[in-house]
Structures are given as structure tokens and as C-alpha cells.
Amino acid sequence: MQHSALINVMIAAARKAARTLKRDFGEVENLQVSLKGPGNFVTAADRKAEETLKTELIKARPGYGFLGEESGTTAGTDPSNTWIVDPLDGTTNFLHGIPQFAISIGLERSGTVVAGVIYNPITDELFVAERGKGAFLNDRRLRVAARKQLGDSVIACGLPHLGRGDLELGLRELSAIQSKVAGLRRFGAAALDLAFVAAGRLDGYWERNLQPWDMAAGILLVREAGGFVTDLDGNSDGMFTKRHIVAGNETIQRELQTLLKAAA
């Protein structure tokens, strides 16, 4: 499949970082049995992946700024272009030897995400989107699912847990959605949750307490696959500032957003 030069740069960076990440994941699986666990090792793997991504992306587009989960903001000489990168989305899964994690790279241009790549090194699934040019999984064009009934829908979410999020609110939201859907999932990698919505595997997804690097590439993927994304108040450009998101096809997204808003 023929991609633009920009997407090729992003894919090359993702594949390079993925090689080490995949090796490190194999090592993490071995470390599970040790009492200390693989915690420090995973932190190092995460940082290493970001360093590779940052080096490769800045080498290819020297003026662009960089926002990464591990290293924060690096200003570029070109203020209109910024890479938004999560080197390892799904850290808890990675740490536990669960192969549901990904590298996520978005490019924000003048306030809009114009390119996104999400890559799972274990399944070798490469999700790619460019603004106005569609969304793809490997070489296959993606469309969001067409289901119109919540009762037929499988929905993913994020859940509060020890030390993170508002448990009471989370429970209210769960009970608002749980009784109305065919199935709920909590996979633990926001970038892949969004990629799965784009691929029509999931009918919808919502989560609170996210960061731009969790969502940037995924938002574009869903939209380029014909889906809708807003924050939980229904604004289509509030996700990065409000830090919450709801995605799906037009009908499911709207219904989820309405139910969640009423539960909040």
C-alpha cells in the first residue's frame, strides 16, 4: 500500500521502536516469576522506546515540536507542527505480560491531528490514518461498525482503579451503560480501544482521565473510518483539554454520550 512520505516516516519510527519493545516484552514475561517483578525494567523499556521515536521523528522532520509521555514537551522551530507520542500505551498490560499494548504517534498541525499511527508489535497490527485519506489496518481500509442499537453493541471503557479516577462516578457510568449493551470490555490500552472502534471491532468506547498522547492518533483513526468522537459533554474538540472521550458510529456515539452525561 502506498502511503505519503509523512506516514512512512511515522511507520518507520514505530517499527524501529517496536523491535526493542518486543524484545523487552519477552524479557518481562520471564521476570513475572521474580519477587521484585519487572517494574523498573518496564520503565526503562518505555523510556528507551520514546527516545528512539523522538530521535527518528526529529531526524526526519527537524523543525517539528515533540510532546511525549515520558520526556514532556520539546519545542520545535516550526510552532505549527507537533508530534504527540505515547511510546507504550497499555503499560499495565505490558508489565503483566498481556499482549495488548501499542506505540501511538499523532501529528498535530495548527491544532488539528492530521496523521496517526498506532502499532501493536505483538500482533503486528499497524493502524494508519491521514486526514482526508481514510484509515487503514495494514492494507485494509477501515470503516466503523454500522450497528444502530446499543443492545447489539460491544462497548469498551476505562475504569477507575486504586489511586486513580472517581470510583463513584465510574460506577454510576457503568450502571448507566451496562444494562443496555451486548457486552462491555476493559482492554487497558486507550490507543488500541480507539483503533478497534475504527476497525468496527468495538461499537463504542468512553474513558475519563486520558492525556493527549493516549488519544491523538486514535481520534483521527475513528474519524477517518467514518466515526464520531467528542468529549463527554458532546464537544468535538474538547478531548485534549477535558481529558475525556466518547467514540463510535454516529448513532452509538450520541447515545453513549447522552447516557453518560445524564449519569455524571
Residue 207 binds Ca ion (CB under 5 A)? no
Choice from 145, 210, 216, 232 touching ligand IPD (CB under 6 A): 210
Single out the segment in contact with ligand IPD by CB under 6 A; choices: 86-94, 194-202, 221-229, 240-248: 86-94
CA 183 remoteness from chain centre: 21
Residue 86 binds ligand IPD (CB under 6 A)? yes
* Number of residue whose CB is nearest ligand IPD: 190
Choice from 43, 71, 209, 251 touching ligand IPD (CB under 6 A): 209
Residue 90 binds ligand IPD (CB under 6 A)? yes
**Separation of alpha carbons 49 and 131, rounded Å:** 26
Using an 8 Å Cβ cutoff, are 222 and 230 in contact?
no
**Separation of alpha carbons 239 and 130, rounded Å:** 19
**Rounded least distance, CB 86 to Ca ion, Å:** 4
Please report, as residue ranges, which positions from 142 to 181 form the binding site for ligand IPD (by CB under 6 A): 158
Q: In what order do the strands lie in the sheet with 245-248?
A: 183-185, 154-157, 204-207, 245-248, 228-230
Please report, as residue ranges, which positions from 184 to 203 form the binding site for ligand IPD (by CB under 6 A): 188-190
Which of 51, 55, 59, 68 has its CA nearest to residue 108? 68
**Rounded least distance, CB 190 to ligand IPD, Å:** 3
